[in-house]
Structure 1
Amino acid sequence: MSTKIIFTSATGNTKEAVELLEEALQDLDQDVEVFDAEDGVEVDEFFDDDDANYVVASWSDGDNGEVPGGIVDFYDDLDGYDLSGKKVAVLGTGDTSYPHFCAAVDIFAKLLKEDGAELVAEPLKIELAPDDDAIEKIKDLAKTLAA
């Protein structure tokens, strides 16, 4: 089984979470491809494998908790895209000092479900950089994806 992960990161927290997920998946003998959304990844190129699992990882932008610029083009292109049969997980990092903690995670999860994707796990929200508790949750997510 393989997993494809697309992410955006501003402070490095989301990138760290993605690296931990990648490592956990590899420890479970999974093939993993990681894409930085800022490289202009196209939706149809990302979701091109019927047998893969997918992960979307993002932080939330500002007080409104919006999808950040680094992945907003990917998000916009997802709107109305047929993801029927695709197994997807969503994770993100955020800061509870903002009014909408990890709102981009919820925004992505909602759109992915509307597009027909099957969410294989509850969206994972991580406070700032992954601590020991978050690392365990990331490992659990890897186990779910590898199952």
Structure 2
Amino acid sequence: MALTNCDTRIGIVYTSVSGNTKDLAECLKTGFLQCGLSPILGEARGFPFEKLKDFDAIIIATYTWGNGEIPGSMRPVYEAFEQQNLKNIVTGIAGTGDRFYPNFCGAVDVFRDMLYVRTTLAASLKVELAPQDSDFPRCIRFVESILKRLGQ
């Protein structure tokens, strides 16, 4: 992988209850690190939403609640993107879920649809339960899609 501009600011915001989505967010962070970037990784409840415009790219990692809904802890993230003019921000949405439920990773779909309209959406990724070794190449492709959209 080619080295990228070290001045590129990437944020990864996540929420996790079981640790699966945190593991996915860390897998994505590792992908960016392998490309020469150092993303800021943070939980949704402490993320600086007032500074979203300071980032070149934001990655959202979430689990799905209930019947395909965004978890309560991700509501402020969703609303921040709805309320700010962030069309120039490159985004990606990733999530974990269980195929047992009829709306597998439904929160990813809800975020994807909003981000497509409100930002420059570059990638989405759904992972069954927890990331496995076989998911790492998918995480790398996700990262490459973000970098391509950033022109790197």
TM-score, length basis structure 2: 0.85
**1:17-51 deviation line (CA, Å, top 9, x unaligned):** 11111112111111210110022x34322x1325x
Residue number in structure 2 paired with 1:105: 108
Is residue 77 of structure 1 aligned with residue 76 of structure 2?
A: no
Question: Letter of the aligned partner of 2:65 in structure 1?
Answer: D
Matching residue within 68, 71, 82 for 1:68: 71
| Of 74, 94, 103, the match for 2:97 | 94
What secondary structure does 2:39 align onto?
strand
Number of residue pairs aligned between Structure 1 and Structure 2: 141
Larger RCO: Structure 1 or Structure 2 (Cα < 8 Å, ≥ 6 residues apart)? Answer: 1
Residue type matched to 1:48 in 2?
Answer: K
1:54 — aligned with what?
A: 58
Segments of 5+ residues of structure 2 without an aligned counterpart are 1-7
2-structure distance, mates of 1:30, 1:136: 18
Task: Tell me if the contact between 2:53 and 2:89 (Cα under 8 Å) persists in the aligned partners.
Answer: no
Q: Which amino acid letter does the alignment assign opposite residue 43 of structure 2?
A: D
- Equivalent in the alignment of 2:37: 30
2:45 counterpart of 1:44: no
Q: What is the match of residue 142 of structure 2?
A: 141
Percent identical among aligned pairs is: 30
Match for residue 13 of structure 1 among 20, 24, 49 = 20
CA RMSD of aligned residues (A): 1.5
SS in 1 for 2:53: coil
